[in-house]
Structure formats: structure tokens, C-alpha cells
């Protein structure tokens, strides 16, 4: 072999100490034990029958999780943002109008993405911050703008609000719009019925209520959305092209088409997440997240914390946004909770930056024990600065 002169020496990466925290931010949550185990299952390749078996298991698992009988259901090889870009770039053509009622950072990301594809964007905002949209407000905007699509975030982790989507599909369809929905933080934690509610395009992530790793994003499209994709003239990015992905995932037949190499550990992990969700059942998973949030909220109230979201009916179970007593810095509070209790919560983001901390009791961490532990630790840290809070 010829000799080659290296110009960059081998790096030495330090062995840092790292003490695993309890993951109670807006995500990622902690892994379910069965998911951690699945991550080390054998590598599989497109040449293995098992590769396609796992993909088939994932597809029925996603159909159950979204509650859809649609065939165009698969997992994109990327984060929730990859799911968002897949749904928007496949469903809305350049020059078409996307209406994005905006109440948090995900809506702003959707607007940014849409504009990159030459999609026109209109937006409305909530009458007050940290609330959700009424269907009357949405109908009025649909009537005014007549968009090709309405993009809405179901559970918005940047505000802690849950948008009512039940029946919104019918409303959109009356005005000729498709309904596109972000369920990244809500899927598996909050009731969501894709077919019954008339949702046309939905995407989620694995690292929230499913308690899996980030990097694989379930997506689903209704029959109407599927027809639009199959008759469209524009082309989305190769990596997100649902026409090609549908062949890779054998959505219609045994096509076994090679599009890109799926990540074995993430396939096994997502399969484990979805199997666990099916074992527990959606109604039980929803009820568990709801009951844990109710218990957590009651305990926080007893400690004297205030909710960023004023109207209880706007609050989501998955992620809670909390104001801190005056004098406590938000980033410092998050750091102290990590330092003193090894609990990881997340500071505010977008509209809640500098206005709240965000606590997620998701998936494996949606339990009464974790809820109590986090609420009490938060009171303790608040009490370091203001002892009157802790004793309330």
C-alpha cells in the first residue's frame, strides 16, 4: 500500500463523568427497558427477510397509534422535524397556500419550511398568548384564505397547550383544505384519532410519549392526501419523497424497493415502542398520562407554583409549562434541579423562553412516583431561594 501523509492527528476524547439524569423535560424522555434492549438487537439489512418483517410490524403499529386504516403509513429516517418536512413538502405544492395558525415554535418552523418550497403562507395568532384556537377562529381563517392546507400543532411543547382537533378535518374539507397535524409530543399521551377526526397528514417522533430514541418519525397520510401525492407534479426532496418511501416500506405491495438504508437499532426500537403501546392500549396510555398530569398539577399547586397556561382546558398532559416565583432565574432553576436532584427539565422555548420551565412526564416517566418526585424536587429547589414556597 502507498504511504499517505496524515495532516490531522488522531483526537483524544476525554473520559468525562456523566451521571444519567431522570429525563423529565419536553423530550427526550427515558427509554422503556424493552426499548433499550431492542437497540442492541442484531443489525439487519435490506437483504434480510427480517428487515421487511420489522417494517411491516412498524406499519401496523403506527396505524394503531394514529388510529388510521390508511395504507400510506411508515417511519421517516429522521427526527420529528424530518416528519414535518415530509408532510409539508409532499402534500403542499409550490405556489399553493398553507394556513398556519401559530401559537408556538413548531408552527414557526412549519412556516419556514413551507416558504423554502415556494409555498405561500398565511397565519393567524391566538387572541391571548398560551391559549388555543377555537374552531370558529379557524373556520373564519379558512373562509378568508381558502388555503390548500391547514397546518396545526396538536400538543405544543413550547407553550404547554393542547389544540382541540376533533372534527377539524371536516371543517377543513368543507373549505377544500387538507389538515396537517404535528403530534410529536402528543402521540400516545393525548387522545388522537386520525381517521375519525379527518386528519390528512400527521407525523410524530419516537423520543416523547413512545419512550424511544429520536431519529425515526412515524408519518401517516389519509386516502385523500395519498391521492394528491400520487397525482402531484412537484417533487419533494429525495430523502422525504413519499412515493419512493411507500415503495421501500411496501405500503401497497411487496415492492422491496431500495431507497436508503434504514437504521437497524432505530427500527427495532420503534417496533418495541409501538408493541408496548399496543400491549398497554391507547386508552390506558392516554388515561395514564392524564391521571399523572392531574396528580402532578395538584401537587405543584399545593407547592405554590403557577401555570403558564391559564385555562385548564388548554393544558396538555404531556408537557407542563410552569412559571417560577419571582427572583428565580429560569435557566438557573433548571441547572440547580439537575445539580441537586439529577432531574432534567427544560427551560422555556420560543414564547415560553424566560417565562416558564417545561416539564414532561412522558412514556416511561408518566408515573405517580415520578410526578411526586419531580414536583417535590422543584419545590425544594425553589425553596433554596424562597423558603416560604417550600413550606406552603
Q: How far is the CB of 52 from a second copy (least distance, A)?
A: 11
Q: Is 237 in the site for a second copy (CB under 8 A)?
A: yes
Among 95, 112, 146, 306, binds a second copy (CB under 8 A): 112
Residue 390 to residue 392: CA distance in whole angstroms: 6
Nearer to a second copy, 176 or 237 (CB): 237
Q: Is 48 in the site for a second copy (CB under 8 A)?
A: yes
Nearer to a second copy, 29 or 142 (CB): 29
Burial class from Cβ neighbours inside 10 Å (0-12, 13-18, 19+) for residue 250 reads middle
Q: Is 60 in the site for a second copy (CB under 8 A)?
A: yes
Alpha-helical segments (H) within the chain: 33-38, 49-66, 80-91, 105-116, 135-145, 168-174, 194-197, 223-231, 242-248, 264-280, 282-303, 330-341, 368-385, 387-390
Q: How far is the CB of 144 from a second copy (least distance, A)?
A: 27
Among 34, 52, 67, 385, binds a second copy (CB under 8 A): 67
- For a second copy, the binding residues in 322-381 under the rule CB under 8 A are 334, 338, 344-347, 349
Q: Is 258 in the site for a second copy (CB under 8 A)?
A: yes
Residue 234 to residue 363: CA distance in whole angstroms: 38
Cβ atoms 267, 216 nearer than 8 A: yes
Among 57, 156, 226, 314, binds a second copy (CB under 8 A): 57
Q: Pick left, alpha or beta for residue 184 (phi over 0 → left; psi -120 to 50 → alpha; otherwise beta).
A: alpha
Nearer to a second copy, 49 or 127 (CB): 49
| Residue with cell string 432505530 | 266
Nearer to a second copy, 2 or 128 (CB): 2
Q: How far is the CB of 109 from a second copy (least distance, A)?
A: 7
Site string for a second copy, 149-168 (x = CB under 8 A): --------------------
Q: Is 302 in the site for a second copy (CB under 8 A)?
A: no
Q: Is 25 in the site for a second copy (CB under 8 A)?
A: yes
- For a second copy, the binding residues in 81-100 under the rule CB under 8 A are 81-82, 85, 89
Q: Which stretch binds a second copy (CB under 8 A): 138-146, 168-176, 213-221, 322-330?
A: 213-221
Among 97, 287, 328, 368, binds a second copy (CB under 8 A): 287
Which residues have C-beta within 8 Å of that of residue 381, sequence separation ≥ 6? 333, 336, 337, 340, 341
Rounded to whole angstroms, what are the CA distances from 371 to 63, 298, 364?
Answer: 30, 10, 12
Q: How far is the CB of 352 from a second copy (least distance, A)?
A: 13
Residue 68 to residue 72: CA distance in whole angstroms: 10
Among 123, 131, 250, 263, binds a second copy (CB under 8 A): 263
Q: How far is the CB of 117 from a second copy (least distance, A)?
A: 8
Nearer to a second copy, 306 or 313 (CB): 313
Cβ atoms 222, 172 nearer than 8 A: no
Cβ atoms 121, 101 nearer than 8 A: no
Taking Cα atoms as reference points, which of 135, 197, 190 lies closest to residue 166? 197
Amino acid at each position: 500500500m502507498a504511504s499517505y501523509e496524515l495532516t490531522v492527528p488522531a483526537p483524544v476524547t476525554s473520559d468525562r463523568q456523566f451521571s444519567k439524569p431522570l429525563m423529565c423535560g419536553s423530550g427526550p424522555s427515558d427509554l422503556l427497558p424493552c426499548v433499550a434492549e431492542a437497540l442492541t438487537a442484531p443489525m439487519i439489512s435490506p437483504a434480510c427477510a427480517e428487515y421487511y418483517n420489522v417494517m411491516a410490524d412498524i406499519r401496523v403499529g403506527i396505524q394503531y397509534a394514529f388510529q388510521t386504516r390508511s395504507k400510506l403509513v411508515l417511519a421517516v429516517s429522521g427526527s420529528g422535524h424530518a416528519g414535518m418536512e415530509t408532510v409539508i413538502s409532499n402534500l403542499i405544492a409550490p405556489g399553493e397556500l398553507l394556513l398556519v395558525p401559530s401559537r408556538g415554535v413548531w408552527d414557526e418552523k412549519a412556516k419556514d419550511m413551507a416558504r423554502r418550497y415556494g409555498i405561500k403562507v398565511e397565519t393567524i395568532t391566538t387572541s391571548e398568548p398560551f391559549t388555543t384556537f377555537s374552531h370558529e377562529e379557524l373556520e373564519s381563517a379558512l373562509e378568508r384564505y381558502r388555503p390548500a392546507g391547514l397546518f396545526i400543532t396538536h400538543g405544543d411543547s413550547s407553550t404547554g397547550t393542547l389544540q382541540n382537533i376533533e372534527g377539524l378535518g371536516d371543517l377543513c374539507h368543507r373549505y377544500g383544505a387538507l389538515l396537517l397535524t404535528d403530534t410529536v409530543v402528543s402521540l400516545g399521551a393525548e387522545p388522537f384519532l386520525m381517521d375519525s377526526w379527518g386528519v390528512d397528514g400527521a407525523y410524530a417522533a419516537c423520543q416523547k410519549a413512545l419512550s424511544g430514541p429520536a431519529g425515526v418519525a412515524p408519518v401517516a397520510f389519509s386516502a385523500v392526501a395519498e391521492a394528491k401525492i400520487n397525482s402531484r407534479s412537484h417533487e419533494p426532496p429525495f430523502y422525504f419523497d413519499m412515493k419512493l418511501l411507500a415503495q421501500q416500506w411496501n405500503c401497497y405491495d411487496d415492492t422491496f424497493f431500495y431507497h436508503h438504508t434504514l437504521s437497524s437499532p432505530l427500527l427495532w426500537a420503534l417496533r418495541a415502542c409501538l408493541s408496548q403501546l399496543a400491549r398497554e392500549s391507547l386508552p390506558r396510555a392516554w388515561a395514564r398520562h392524564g391521571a399523572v398530569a392531574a396528580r402532578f398539577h395538584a401537587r405543584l399547586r399545593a407547592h405554590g407554583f403557577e401555570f403558564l397556561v391559564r385555562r385548564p382546558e388548554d393544558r396538555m398532559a404531556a408537557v407542563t409549562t410552569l412559571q417560577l416565583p419571582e427572583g428565580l432565574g429560569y435557566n438557573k432553576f433548571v441547572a440547580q434541579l439537575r445539580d441537586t436532584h439529577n432531574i432534567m427539565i427544560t427551560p422555556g422555548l420560543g414564547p415560553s423562553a424566560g417565562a416558564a420551565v417545561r416539564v414532561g412526564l412522558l412514556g416511561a416517566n408518566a408515573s405517580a412516583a415520578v410526578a411526586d418526585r419531580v414536583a417535590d424536587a422543584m419545590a425544594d429547589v425553589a425553596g433554596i431561594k424562597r423558603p416560604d414556597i417550600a413550606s406552603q
